[in-house]
Chain A
Amino acid sequence: MKRMINIALPKGRLGEKAYSLIARAGYACPELLEENRKLTFENEQAGVRYFWVKPSDVAIYVERGAADIGIAGKDILLEYAPDVYELLDLSIGKCRMCVAGAQDFSDSHTGILRVATKFPAIARRHYAAQSREIDVIRLNGSIELAPILGLSDVIVDIVETGKTLAENGLCVHEEIVSISARLIANKAHYQFKGAEIEALRQKLEEAARA
């Protein structure tokens, strides 16, 4: 009997892009894109079951085994450091994790640097490597507002085009790491569905390259 692979997809643009890639790889489930209230979607023939979850929750679903595999941004993986396999870089949803601030900002190293971010672990790790003491200000959205209102000196955030930053008189001061979508797998489930997951990974790699 074919084993179903449970796949957690991140809601939103990235998830839709990832799904179209998976569909091209031969694991389509058209029902997934229909407007309905269903939570799980199945293509029994292809052996896959999908569900949409909040992007930041994908890693949790996979780490705790509710999903066998999932598509998560590298930003989420770096922030939460889940104990999962990272099997493939899908090369979609590309952006950069950056330190940004006012155009005329320069770190004088005279006091504690105030950093506003949605990614406190990434920010802490980045500055700890430079032995720079920081005050992390954890925000959930509109991060760009923080330096404008003087809430923080800089922000650590995802930058796609830099347009929002520029429109608010901010710019990138430092790039921390490149971000893109990754295929992740639960370590325990991989032991028992390894053949199915590897087959999907290979087809996905081919589809991503095409």
Chain B
Amino acid sequence: MKPETLTTQERIQYELRELYLACGYRPYKVGKFEDYDLYMRNKKFLASEQVLTFSDTNGKLKALKPDVTLSIIKNVKDDGRVQKLCYTETVYRVPRNAYGFREIMQTGLECIGRVDDYAAGEVLMLAARSLQKISERYVLDVSDVGVLSGVLAEEPIGDADCARLLSLVGEKNQHGLTAACAEMGVSQRTTQRLLDLVCACGPLGETLSRVESLDLPQTSREALAGLGRMRDQLAAYGIGNVNLDFSVVNDMDYYNGLVFRGFVEGIPSGILAGGRYDNLLARMGKHGEAIGFAVYLDQLERYMEAKPAYETEALVLYDAATDPLDIVRVTESLRARGISFRVQREEEPCPNCREVVRLAKEANT
């Protein structure tokens, strides 16, 4: 197959699959439908809470799956063994601030069972290389939710207030953070720590050194040490373009530890998202640890899609008097030369093409 016959989306999908398989991730297929109940219980994990539902023949409420991770966790064996899985699936959901459901092609991987430093680093490396397959101009933002949760744990504030502060960190909203901390009676020290973390954003190595010199609680320091090990492993892989950015905040009910988000220049929103989700695993009654990410292939639809110079290379025109066997002879000769062609009657509008082969009788006379 000529490479240009693939769309960018298809090419990237193929290359990512190749990348994951080469690192020992096993392809995993989940069904298109899932019991609605699964999403009911884990609504906050979903990117959008709206789920496309229908009644099965036995009256059971089913859903067109809005997410792949939940289905994988539900189905994987809980036998303590490490399972490295990759997938390409279609999900159905309402994108943020959009109207109506959309069919979204998503590819990704999950490492479930035991996630040690090596496994986490491998997943980060694959996330970075996935972005690199799309463009050299990429950025992978990484953070560890343990750094922020360590800071917040020192304050006697409830879950709702914690979520509000995290959302402000996610917006890099320093003025909002200062005001909210004052309103909640959060100490000056914690407020300053949060502001320092919001401002700390840049290349992983140097930013991490800067953050390590800040006054932070022990639990945050442990999380920073984990990020340090990731920095070393990524350096050993020769991976660049990784930034430390504490504004990557995922829901702490599901995520713990490492979280990350990937961007490619020219695509106006994040194209990759992932993290460590031991908490989700525990909520679903499974043991062990898990980490994974998804690449949103739908974002590639308008990316780098260079318009071909010609709709077809050769245009073969004929009329009512043309012998069909003459057309076959011409097209077979074009095919043998590897030239793409379109055959049509002369009176039809002509598409953009490189050469025209006229078999119309009038043209021959």
Interface on A for B, CB 8 Å cutoff? 60, 63-66, 80-89, 186-189, 191-192, 194
Smallest Cβ-Cβ distance to A90: which chain B residue: B175
Smallest Cβ-Cβ distance to A63: which chain B residue: B97
Contact B268 A192 (CB under 8 A): no
Q: Does B88 contact A (CB under 8 A)?
A: no
Interface on B for A, CB 8 Å cutoff? 96-97, 137, 139, 141, 171-176, 201, 243, 247, 263-265, 267-270
Instruction: Please classify the interface of chain B as helix (H, G, I), strand (E, B), loop, or mixed, using the class held by over half of its residues.
Output: loop
Smallest Cβ-Cβ distance to A74: which chain B residue: B176
CB-contact partner of B247 in A64, A85, A188, under 8 A: A85
CB-contact partner of A188 in B96, B175, B268, under 8 A: B268
A80 to chain B, nearest CB (A): 6
CB-contact partner of B173 in A66, A83, A86, under 8 A: A86
CB-contact partner of A65 in B172, B175, B201, B269, under 8 A: B269
Contact B270 A187 (CB under 8 A): yes
Which residue among B137, B201, B268, B269 has the maximum number of chain A CB atoms within 10 Å of its CB? B268
CB-contact partner of B268 in A65, A88, A89, under 8 A: A65
Contact A88 B263 (CB under 8 A): no
Contacts between the two chains (Cβ within 8 Å), count: 52
Task: Take A63-B97, A80-B97, A82-B97 as given contacts and tell me if A192 and B265 are in contact as well, using a CB distance cutoff of 8 Å.
Answer: yes
What A residues does B267 contact at CB under 8 A?
65, 188
Known pairs A63-B269, A191-B139, A192-B137; list 15 more (Cβ under 8 Å). Answer: A63-B268, A64-B268, A65-B268, A85-B172, A85-B247, A86-B171, A86-B176, A87-B174, A89-B176, A187-B263, A187-B270, A188-B270, A189-B268, A191-B243, A192-B139
What A residues does B171 contact at CB under 8 A?
84-86
CB-contact partner of B269 in A60, A81, A187, A194, under 8 A: A187
Contact A83 B269 (CB under 8 A): yes
Instruction: Please classify the interface of chain A as helix (H, G, I), strand (E, B), loop, or mixed, using the class held by over half of its residues.
Output: mixed
What B residues does A83 contact at CB under 8 A?
96-97, 269
How far does the alpha carbon of A189 sit from the alpha carbon of B243 in the complex, in Å?
14
CB-contact partner of A86 in B97, B172, B263, B268, under 8 A: B172
How far does the alpha carbon of A187 sit from the alpha carbon of B139 in the complex, in Å?
12
Which residue among A63, A82, A189, A191 has the maximum number of chain B CB atoms within 10 Å of its CB? A191
How far does the alpha carbon of A161 sit from the alpha carbon of B181 in the complex, in Å?
28
Smallest Cβ-Cβ distance to B243: which chain A residue: A191
B113 to chain A, nearest CB (A): 32
How far does the alpha carbon of A83 sit from the alpha carbon of B167 in the complex, in Å?
11
What A residues does B269 contact at CB under 8 A?
63-65, 83, 187-188
What B residues does A187 contact at CB under 8 A?
263, 269-270
How far does the alpha carbon of A187 sit from the alpha carbon of B249 in the complex, in Å?
13
A89 to chain B, nearest CB (A): 4
How far does the alpha carbon of A84 sit from the alpha carbon of B172 in the complex, in Å?
9
- 22 pairs across A/B with beta carbons < 8 Å? A63-B97, A63-B269, A64-B269, A66-B268, A82-B97, A83-B96, A83-B97, A84-B171, A85-B172, A85-B247, A86-B172, A86-B173, A87-B174, A88-B175, A187-B270, A188-B267, A188-B270, A189-B268, A191-B265, A192-B137, A192-B139, A192-B265
What A residues does B264 contact at CB under 8 A?
188
